[in-house]
Amino acid sequence: MQIKRLGLIPIAAVFLLSANQSLTELKYAFLADTAAATVVATSDDTAGVGNFGSAPLRTVEYTFTEGSGYQRTERDHVPVAWPKPAVGQNIIVQYYEGQPGSSRMLGHTKVAGAHIFIVVSCAGFCAFYSFLLWTVPPKPKPAKKRDEIKWAIDFDEDDFVEPIAAEVQSPQESVASQSSTPG
């Protein structure tokens, strides 16, 4: 049982990392400001400087001025497939005001984390729901309730009114039958 529980650790780690990446993209989408930046330098790094250091990336260094007037010089690492901007060219960057190191070139999104988050969330929900269906037995239905429902459906008023009416005597008939009885 302990080994099965340890298998959940990598799944939880992937879920949390992809959730963090998804929230970061949402923050950029709704809270980030944009500014025009001037490219200071570009370089291609074939060794890779990305998250896992495997893909060759292009480093673009740029300078921009925040809305508050503070000038920042930062860099972004984009895939080599991106067009190489010339030194002195103007580009658009997204950034968080007052947070150095938070800027990135406009369009440089990391939506793979969001896709992983959605897939892992859906798979986790399906697994949890399946687990509940498999482990929790259904509630037994009481037989008495079924009998009451069947009786209510089969009930016909005429079946009960006529026999009762035939058995009930009027008060005069009951007095007459008592007086005729020898006693």
Distance (Å, whole) CA 166 – CA 163: 5
| Banded pLDDT at 61 (limits 50, 70, 90) | very high
Q: In sequence order, what are the residues at sequence separation of 6 or more whose Cβ sits closer than 8 angstroms to the Cβ of residue 70?
A: 98
Name all domains of the chain by residue range, CATH numbers in brackets. Answer: 2-114 (2.40.50), 143-180 (no CATH)
Per the prediction, the chain carries an average pLDDT of 74
pLDDT, tens digit, for every residue of 141-181?
A: 666 555 555 555 555 555 555 555 555 555 566 555 555 55
Q: pTM here?
A: 0.55
